[in-house]
Structure 1
């Protein structure tokens, strides 16, 4: 299949690995921002094939993983209200809050419905006027257009019983938070191709210039990833620091203008809390005032209490999400913490670094 088989070609992979080994002259640490990229790196064994001088670090690129406990707590509180039907994607159901997950809330009688699209939640609101239907809108810029469209559709239908609980976060501010950390050791980034397909590449140029790091927008297949790594290493070895686009078959410099317009119509930028990182200024979306009737926080008077800390389980998710440690360095990894019994969000989502390491650990000897 075009744009699939050629990006999994073993001969191309071997050639790219050889080129990376020939180009790199000193230790380089690169961070892939996207959880899908992390999953592909681990699943395809790329981490073990790279030259020793190239180290991949896994960033906060899994939206499920970075959703803070305080937002889960809000969702749980809504699900436990008799008049509310909370709708969520399935990957959010087992993410731990400060005391319980949505799955535990449902076991206690909470009203929770797993959906596959925000428009499914709009239809439920249309079909069940007796219920307040709330969609838990989580994700990076990639999912923001669909969630914004759900709000616009509800407004078009004049639905009084639909709202969204928004926990959208933005990639560039998180990258800057990592780069400005005094303990940062990242030399370059592989940018999230799907995010850039929506938002374009313009936001990354100031970061590359300010911090002197190459940023290569990259796809998700083995050849994509290795091409992105090679492009980043070439920049580093030549003393350059700019933005390049490996994923040109999908990403355009200015992104998807129509999707961006829909986002701007419904959402505005705000400060957001990230699990394991803290509050990052201007790093997320909230519902604009003109659409407050569809904002669950405004409708139900819920608030995000960032002072409530989750129960201390010994999980090092925060250090993993900031790229300071890898999953296998956690003493609970693969033992007390597994996908069936996760202690932290990175073990819940299929895009989480811990889950990726766990599922492919036996093949690549990642469990200590």
Structure 2
């Protein structure tokens, strides 16, 4: 068939550029040590930043949730799928990040991707003159959210506040929405949220913050990037994911109660999707208790100690380490083929590190994306540092 031949040619073109992605099947729970195809590997590629994905208390809570609520929700939230566990989770999440928001309320989603589609499209619904101002390095879900909104979108250069201000000053839109990651998923650095919020307040714009990689890891209590920067404003719309530091799955948006009610009424990705399993919501209540308690604080402190060890121990000459104080520690190699060879060489040594290439990152900036976890030991990190320092010199 000509149609199949065309697809085959497209796949071959990706392969020629070292851009084919391949899945590996994991036979063990998520953790620092995983079993892949019969081999035990030391993994530095998951987003389980606090090592909670296989936590005994959360597993027991999931089992308890299934015993109470069953498995599936059966319908969307607006039909019959909004269970007591969902309601309790949303109330708890509103309390969790509520100190940074005015009249806080939260709404839960199956995934962070869906949450970002919903919040951007929901804020601009029925307003064809609305304008979106999107950070250059935003996650794909924010980019697609802007596309789904089908309103004028401006992309401002990474962390370029003067450029953003110029765009905001020139805008006559009644609805202006600035969207940004808090922690950039491929670089590991933080957005200048205090200055972004100041601009949004000055020019009357919403500030949508995707805190997928900050929720649970940043802030004294793990409340995320807003707590880290001590921000509070009615202009803030906050998205956090629950499958990374929280160790389970799903996502939520928290904002002023009027914003959340608007999403319930207007956000199509929320209205027309079956609700997540209520047992997961039940398990997340335990996860939030861990994040906010002494164990969460201990795990965050250990993670920061590992970040400091990494920054002190890695000594690169040809490759480049990006400055990052978060669990995401990229090593820029540049060439796609060399990046794949480096990832394969580490894999042969029993070290699993993600090899990231375009279009996830810009052409010429292929990298190893090292992610540290509170589940790692200092010896684990030392092993990877030694391997990378030696590999670069070969």
**TM-score using structure 2 length:** 0.32
**TM-score using structure 1 length:** 0.34
